[in-house]
A and B are shown apart, each in its own frame.
Chain A
């Protein structure tokens, strides 16, 4: 057992840290999503030039080929320093790895470089209004017409669709096959007449994600990834990629929030002292720290296990569940500490901490929904880790 970094890993961390500190572009603009995306494109261009964009990708495809620990270090450092997200985060985390794993040589040549540079942004067309957790029931149809596929249907929760060039689209190509078969994974050009993205406004007032309507959209047959009818297996790869490595960024983000929470408690007057002197708040704050530490240590154990076996196990679901609970508890406590000031939001003259906690409180409501709901994660854990029977 050794919970320290090796000398070469420490050297890598120092290199990452120095580069990120020297190149940190500062806080994101707050005057609209267009400006934010332009800012993130510029940041990704910088990351790519320095070879950090495809850190987990193999070197032959323009990546860095970093080890799992190096990836964890990079993600953790970036989160700790609160660098912006790259513009094409889904292309880097999911699109690229899928093309590398399942794509043809021609697809690799065509798509990988613009993903890394951020020149082309990718979105994910999986969920539908009637197919959320039960993804395999999706209804969007693709029908062969000569050397093209014609697609009609609707996707939802499509993050950054309005800025995307390519959509990782899963559509039903054989309606007579069992539901997990008969699906195909396509790369759909978003810039065409048959595709329309409409932003959905979230409870925070922002519009990160969209509804996407496809009305006889056209996809050339060379844009099928992994073969017709093989869409479920290909899609699963992307979901696995989504989980791997995220834990270390999430942990660093929680640690930053815990520091801000302690500052809030210390600066909030309560009972003649500060909230940080209050026994009840001290208990709550301590418990959050303890859970953050168990989450960090679980992630280390998971990383060790992944290095031994080569693939991330279903235990990753525990970390995602735990993170969602923890981030929600944390923001709930912040509002509790603010007391009667809790409703004052961004823009209010007397909002505490500029209304940052109000935003975090609202945004974190989605943590137990996005990327696999907590209820579904509990099913996965019950079935695949504990071996309990399936209800379905």
Chain B
């Protein structure tokens, strides 16, 4: 029993914290957030050099072969820094290829993703669908030597500048679609979170070669889904941690009625509540990350617990921090709104808290009839 990071993981954390603090100062985040397509090619190149694009990619495909705990450490720091980076969307595709691709596809697509020489993002939900996990309606019609895709995908992250998309269809398959393939067009959407752009993706009779359809089906993507939920929950935990620290710092400095406002219990108890939610979120995340690496049979439940909890904490804690800051916290000039917006967007993605709680209920209520574990 040892529930803490190893020395190596502490080193990943320290490196990430230092690099991200230097690279994503407030002014730089604002520049990227206000730019036309929200990309940061220089920052991306540096992350690739640090090995982050291949962190959880197996060594035989050019990655570092590290686990989900390591990935969670990194994503917690990315959230802490509010890094406007496509690393999350890219990591989802890398996980999908690692778990569900063929060796040929891993060679052609995973290796360059891990090296950082190419970038990809998943295109999952369809216009008019419920946008809950697994609810895909796009049809894969036979055509050419493979399939033909037509329709419109929504909520596609970081689409600007990607080399290919991983497109989901109603039959439970995923397909590699090159960004420059004929019939592909990207239309940016406005999101409250300008640090992670979303677009819609139109596919008009796009031809996909048989070799570019991943062999896995439906439920086999659960291993990917559960792990990406842990990474996203880790990011939200980092958002909560940073927002908490900003609140505490402000509550120590800001004086009213002749005292720092943190001396008043209305403020200090709010901060204590923020700490509780942040620590709970962190425990749930690392418990799930550990399960992913060491006890995969308990990952499904643990991942949903982590995503449900962190979905709530990831925006409630920044919200509470805004309240501690008062009027200044509501201004565009203060950075807190970026944290609130990212946290709220994260809460909505890949199953919101309600969706994951239902998944938890399914597990714990079906277990209820059984006697106490012996």
> Which A residues fall within an 8 A CB radius of B?
1-6, 9, 69, 80, 256, 258-259, 262-263, 265-266, 276, 279, 282-283, 285-287, 289-291, 293-295, 297-298, 300-301, 303-305, 308, 315, 318, 321-322, 375, 378-379, 381-383, 385-391
Q: Which residues of A lie under 8 Å from residue B286 when comparing CB positions?
A: 1, 297
Contacts of A291 in B (CB 8 A): 280, 309
Which of B264, B290, B364 neighbours the largest number of chain A CB atoms within 10 Å of its CB? Answer: B364
In chain B, what residue has the closest Cβ to A291? B280
Q: Which residues of A contact B22 (CB under 8 A)?
A: none
Inter-subunit contact A289/B368 (CB<8 Å): no
| Contact between chains at B280 and A294 (CB < 8 Å) | yes
Name the residue on B nearest A293 (C-beta). Answer: B305
Closest CB in chain B relative to A360 CB, distance in Å: 18
Residue contact B287 to A297, C-beta cutoff 8 Å:
yes
Contact A378 B365 (CB under 8 A): no
Known pairs A263-B369, A293-B287, A297-B3; list 10 more (Cβ under 8 Å).
A1-B6, A2-B1, A5-B1, A259-B372, A297-B284, A322-B276, A382-B268, A387-B248, A388-B268, A391-B263
5 contacts between A and B (CB under 8 A): A1-B4, A2-B3, A276-B368, A297-B287, A304-B1
Residues on the A chain within 8 Å of B262, using CB: 382, 388-389
Tell me, in angstroms, the Cα distance from A138 to B100 when the chains sit together.
67
B287 partner residues in chain A, CB cutoff 8 A: 3, 293, 297
- State how many angstroms separate the Cβ of A361 from the closest Cβ of chain B: 20
B271 touches A382 (CB 8 A): yes
Of B265, B280, B354, B369, which is within 8 A of A391 by CB?
B265
* Pairs A-B, 5 closest by C-beta atoms: A262-B368, A297-B283, A382-B268, A282-B361, A294-B280
What is the chain B residue whose CB lies nearest that of A260? B368
List A contacts of B9 (CB < 8 A): 1
On whether the beta carbons of A286 and B283 are closer than 8 Å, the reply is: no
CB distance from A376 to the nearest CB of B (A): 10
Chain B residue at smallest Cβ distance from A385: B275
Contact indicator A381/B275 (Cβ below 8 Å): yes
Cα distance, A117 to B373, chains bound together (Å): 31
Instruction: Tell me which residues across on chain A come within 8 A of B360, comparing CB atoms.
Output: 286, 289-290
Nearest CB in chain B: distance from A30 CB, A: 22
Complex partner residue of A321 from B276, B295, B361, CB under 8 angstroms = B276
List B contacts of A80 (CB < 8 A): 372
State in angstroms the CA–CA spacing of A322 and B330 once bound together: 30
Per a CB cutoff under 8 Å, which of A9, A279, A285, A383 touches B365? Answer: A285
Q: A1-B69, A300-B3, A391-B263 are in contact. Are A282 and B309 (CB under 8 A)?
A: no
Q: How many residues of B contact A (CB 8 A)?
A: 50
Residues of B119-167 contacting chain A, CB below 8 A: none
Report whether A303 and B276 are in contact in the complex, using a CB–CB cutoff of 8 Å: no
Smallest CB separation, B47 vs chain A (Å): 24
CB pair B358–A283 under 8 Å, yes or no, is yes
State whether A389 touches B263 (Cβ < 8 A): yes
Q: Is B17 an interface residue (CB 8 A)?
A: no
Q: How far in angstroms is the closest Cβ of chain B from A209?
A: 27
A294 CA to B272 CA, complexed, in Å: 16
Taken together as a complex, chains A and B put the C-alpha atoms of A265 and B265 apart, in Å, by: 38
- Please report the C-alpha to C-alpha distance between residue A21 and residue B309 in the assembled complex, in whole angstroms: 36
Q: Are A382 and B357 in contact (CB under 8 A)?
A: no
Which residue in B248, B295, B309 is a CB contact (below 8 Å) of A388?
A: B248
Shortest beta-carbon distance from B70 to chain A in Å:
10
Q: Does B5 contact A (CB under 8 A)?
A: yes
Contact partners of B280 in chain A: CB under 8 A:
291, 294-295, 298, 322
Shortest Cβ distance from A120 into chain B, in angstroms? 35
A357 to B69, CA, bound (A): 40
- Can you list, as one digit per residue, whether each of B288-302 has a CB less than 8 Å from chain A (1) or not (0)? 001000110000001
The answer for the CA separation of A265 and B281 in the assembled complex, in Å, is 27
Asked if B365 contacts A388 (CB within 8 A), the reply is no
A132 vs B354: C-alpha distance when bound (angstroms): 41
Q: Are B358 and A282 in contact (CB under 8 A)?
A: yes
* A3 and B3 contact, CB distance less than 8 A: yes
How far does the alpha carbon of A276 sit from the alpha carbon of B267 in the complex, in Å?
Answer: 38
Nearest Cβ in chain A — how far from B274, in angstroms? 9
B268 to chain A, nearest CB (A): 4
Cβ of B251 < 8 Å from any Cβ of A? yes
Evaluate contact between B2 and A1: CB separation under 8 angstroms.
yes
A390 in contact with B263 (CB, 8 Å): yes
| Cβ–Cβ < 8 Å partners of B264 in chain A | 391
Knowing A2-B294, A382-B262, A389-B260 touch, does A300 contact B248 (C-beta < 8 A)?
A: no
Which residues on A sit within 8 Å (CB–CB) of B279? Answer: 294, 298, 315, 318
Q: Which of B336-374 contact A (CB under 8 A)?
A: 354, 357-358, 360-361, 364-365, 367-369, 372
Q: Which of B292-347 contact A (CB under 8 A)?
A: 294-295, 302, 305, 308-309
By a CB distance below 8 angstroms, the chain B residues around A390 are 263
B259 at the interface (CB under 8 A from A): yes
Roughly how many angstroms separate A383 CA and B354 CA in the complex, as a whole number?
A: 34
Bound-state CA distance A165–B249 (Å) is 50
> Considering the chains assembled together, what is the distance between the CA atoms of A173 and B286 in angstroms?
50
| A321 CB → nearest B CB, Å | 7
Q: Quick check: is B28 within 8 A (CB to CB) of the other chain?
A: no
Contact A290 B2, beta carbon cutoff 8 Å? no
Checking B269, B281, B364 against A382 with a beta-carbon cut-off of 8 angstroms, the contacting residue is B269
B364 contacts across to A, CB distance below 8 A: 258, 262, 285-286, 289
A380 — nearest CB in chain B belongs to which residue?
B272
Complex alpha-carbon distance, A3 and B286, angstroms: 10
Does B259 contact A4, Cβ atoms closer than 8 Å? no
Q: Does B252 contact A (CB under 8 A)?
A: yes
Specify which of A69, A291, A295, A298 lies most central, judged by the most chain B CB atoms within 10 Å of its CB.
Answer: A298
Q: Is the CB of A294 within 8 A of B263?
A: no
Q: Which B-chain residue is minimally distant from A318 (CB atoms)? A: B276
Residues of B within 8 A of A315 (CB): 279
For B284, list chain A residues within 8 Å (CB).
Answer: 290, 293-294, 297
Given known pairs A318-B275, A381-B275, A382-B272, the reply for A290 and B305 (CB within 8 Å) is: yes
Of A285, A286, A297, A298, the contact of B308 (CB 8 Å cutoff): A286
> Considering the chains assembled together, what is the distance between the CA atoms of A389 and B259 in angstroms?
9
- In the bound complex, residues from chain B placing their C-beta under 8 Å from that of A256 are 372
CA A249 to CA B24, docked complex, whole Å: 45
- Contact between B309 and A294 (Cβ–Cβ < 8 Å)? yes
| Alpha-carbon separation in the docked complex, A371 to B267 (Å) | 24
Residues of chain B within 8 A (CB-CB) of A5 are: 1
- Which residues of chain B come closer than 8 Å to A290, judged between CB atoms? 284, 305, 308-309, 357, 360
Question: CB < 8 Å: which of B1, B295, B302 contacts A300?
Answer: B1
CB-nearest residue of chain B relative to A80? B372
Residues of B within 8 A of A318 (CB): 275-276, 279
